[in-house]
Structure 1
Amino acid sequence: MIGIITAMDSEAAAIRSVMHVESTTETAGIVFWTGTIEGEDVTLALGGVGKALAAMAATLLIELCDPDYILNAGVAGGLRDTQKVTDLVISSRIIQGDYDTSPLDGPEGFGKVFDPDIRLVNHARQILDELQLPSELGEVVSQDKFVARPEDVAFIRSHWPGAACAEMEAGAIAQVAHAFRVPFLAVRALSDVTGHDDNPMEFEKFTEVAAENTARFIRTWCACL
């Protein structure tokens, strides 16, 4: 069974549009839809925005549903000048960008890092070749903030030059999945890109379109298993 975690209603709705839903449950405010996509068993969780809710959603999903692996699907903000809205990013690494115990632990305590499952990465790359959607492999940086200010972007770029996008959940989900030894991958469509005229406005305008690209990816993922 495939576990999928999203943060926002628009992300979950896009995935439900390609899903045959058989049941809906709710635990501690986390909504779970169970059913199939292209014949594959799936449980979709709507966790909420931010790392705390994401960690809770991942823990409940693993404990209640025992997924074979977890896909964190949704939208993110692009960090590269060459990117365009609705491009897809597949995680090469997932970084908690606001984790910092360096005063105690030195450089090792700055930015908690998790590697996705390489088999999931390779499957994702095959699907993107088939869909011919603009995409790239890159680092996903999680922080409990919407990255829009120039100083926020500069901070990420200075510490993680390989960062492709910023968002607010993948780092927490990756940490929970790692603790439970459940394979994990983040798949993000860009709803906005830094350096464009108005990041927040772009986010509002393109979130649904970006979410639809993620759902298209998920549907093809299941069809190709």
Structure 2
Amino acid sequence: MHSSARFPGFLPAMAAGLSGLMMLAAPLGAVAAELLDPKPRIAVVSAFEPEWQVLKSELAEASEYRVNGRSFITGKLAGKDVVLFLSGISMVNAAMNTQIALDRFSLSAVTFSGIAGGVDPTLHIGDVVIADQWSQYLEAVFARETPEGFAIPPWMEEQGIAGYGMIVPRSVNVTRENASGEEERFWFPSDPGLLDAAREVAAKLDLADCVEENKCLTAKPKIVVGGNGVSGQAFVDNAKFREYVLATFGAKVLDMESAAVAHVAYSNGVPFLAVRSLSDLAGGSEGANEMATFMGLASKNSAAVVKAILQEMP
């Protein structure tokens, strides 16, 4: 979406007219959403059903609430008060449903449990990545093709991020409570305390390596804490784009939700951590994409790590 904040000088003459229209369009009698449950809880978010089922099956004292047709289930997991919900696949679904949870529950932290595509060639299917920070690699300009190559508009500031053909990534503007104005960010951080808990877990937790007796990983999976992760609106199964993501962002992993949830958590001032287990290599494997084969194993490992992190938390 274009905005005058990101693109100085864009449609400045419309400001006064828009102000009047916004006053006319404002809903009458609008009120803040009421909390569905006042108890402080940790959100445990998954993108889609197979990831969620592993965690939901171990939830104690479960109570279900529905908002906009989506289930939010409170209870205890690994001895902690939590609320489980599905973000839905995609950046928009993830952002929307995370904000709903923040508005309707008292959240002390947001954790994400799910599968992802591996980018770092030293990692293998089944490994779990817990990144230090997340970015949105498809927040971008589709640049104009010129005889000299692809070029962003001349009035747009260069940010020094290498593009992939016409796709030139950009930072985003963010607002936060008690901030004086918009802040420009490319990376959204994981919480330092949650990262410390993840390191404790990584040092002692063994991960599963077989889907069934005759479908096992070639390498024992490991937990990697640190590095970068990226998210975007595309399912990536392309070796050349995978190489670009590694070279440009130093990313270990990519998915379709984590950076959106990190963005929302940052804007709300709530600690965030994403646990992503590799179900495929985003186009880096020699044969066909293996997500369908190892999705169950990856979901199980991600859930195991999240539960162990919950146990480590105060």
Aligned to 1:19: 59
Cα separation, 2, equivalents of 1:21 and 1:53: 27
Aligned to 2:301: 213
Aligned to 1:191: 279
Aligned pairs, number = 223
Residue segments in structure 1 that go unaligned for 5+ positions in a row = none
Matches within 5 A, 1:60-209: 60-100=100-140, 103=153, 104-107=156-159, 110-111=170-171, 112-133=186-207, 134-136=222-224, 137-160=226-249, 162-193=250-281, 194-198=283-287, 200=289, 202-209=290-297
Higher helix share: 1
Question: Cα distance 1:221–1:197, how it changes in 2: closer, same or farther (>3 A)?
Answer: same
Q: 1:7 aligns with which of 20, 34, 47?
A: 47
Matched residue type, 2:197: H
State the TM-score, normalizing by the size of structure 1.
Answer: 0.92
Moved more, 9-18 or 25-34: 25-34
State the TM-score, normalizing by the size of structure 2.
Answer: 0.67
Q: What's the offset of the Cα at 1:66?
A: 1.9
Matches within 5 A, 1:45-64: 45-64=85-104
Using CA pairs under 8 Å that are at least 6 residues apart, name the structure with larger relative contact order, 1 or 2. Answer: 1
Q: Percent identity?
A: 29
RMSD of aligned alpha carbons: 1.7
Of structures 1 and 2, the larger Rg is shown by: 2
Alignment check: 8 A CA contact 2:246 2:252 kept: no
Q: Does 1:28 align with 2:68?
A: yes
Alignment check: 8 A CA contact 1:54 1:172 kept: yes
Moved more, 6-15 or 146-155: 146-155
Q: What's the offset of the Cα at 1:219?
A: 1.9
Q: What's the offset of the Cα at 1:198?
A: 3.5
Alignment check: 8 A CA contact 1:117 1:183 kept: yes
Shift >6 Å, 4+ stretches: none
Residue segments in structure 2 that go unaligned for 5+ positions in a row = 1-40, 142-151, 161-168, 172-185, 208-221
Moved more, 28-37 or 56-65: 28-37
